[in-house]
């Protein structure tokens, strides 16, 4: 049984920073690809960032240069450092994990089996 738990959301002013954490319990953490997705009201779930077991990282176009994803295999956690936040970054942020995700599917939320409950990030203008 794999469990995924996100922490670290909150309210921040535009231009500020937040750090989200994702803890993954169960399975072999070092083998997981872990991704962050977000969903704003009335919008589709959007790919934010992902990190593979190789530590290669991938980012959605809207967050490149502002967000950084990293992993700590010893602590079974993945972090998302979010800088220069904008009001349009406001959404529920979800962490997802799975193994065997091919590169062409890494940004597709349908290919991840294990999900957290989500954490709200609100950026005020």
pLDDT digits (tens, 9 = 90+) for 17-45: 999 999 999 989 999 999 999 999 999 99
The rounded mean pLDDT for the chain is 97
Work out the burial of residue 56: count CB atoms within 10 Å of its CB; fewer than 13 is exposed, 13-18 middle, 19 or more buried: exposed
Question: What average pLDDT score do residues 89-95 get?
Answer: 98
Answer whether residue 119 shows pLDDT above 90. yes
Residue 12's pLDDT band, with cuts at 50, 70 and 90, is: very high
Answer whether residue 8 shows pLDDT above 90. yes
Residue 100 pLDDT: 86
pLDDT digits (tens, 9 = 90+) for 50-88: 999 999 999 999 999 999 999 999 999 999 999 999 999
Distance between CA atoms of residues 54 and 57, nearest Å: 9
Residue 15's pLDDT band, with cuts at 50, 70 and 90, is: very high
């Amino acid at each position: 049984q794999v469990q995924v738990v996100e922490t670290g959301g909150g309210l921040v002013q535009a231009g500020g920073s937040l750090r989200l954490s994702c803890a993954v319990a169960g399975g072999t953490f070092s083998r997981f690809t872990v991704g962050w997705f977000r969903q704003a009201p009335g919008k589709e779930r959007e790919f934010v960032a992902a990190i593979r077991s190789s530590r290669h990282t991938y980012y959605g176009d809207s967050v490149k240069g502002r967000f950084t994803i990293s992993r700590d295999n010893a602590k079974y956690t993945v972090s998302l450092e979010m800088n220069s936040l904008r009001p349009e970054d406001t959404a529920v942020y979800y962490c997802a994990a799975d193994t065997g995700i091919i590169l062409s599917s890494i940004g597709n939320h349908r290919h991840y089996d294990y999900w957290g409950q989500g954490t709200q990030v609100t950026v005020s203008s």
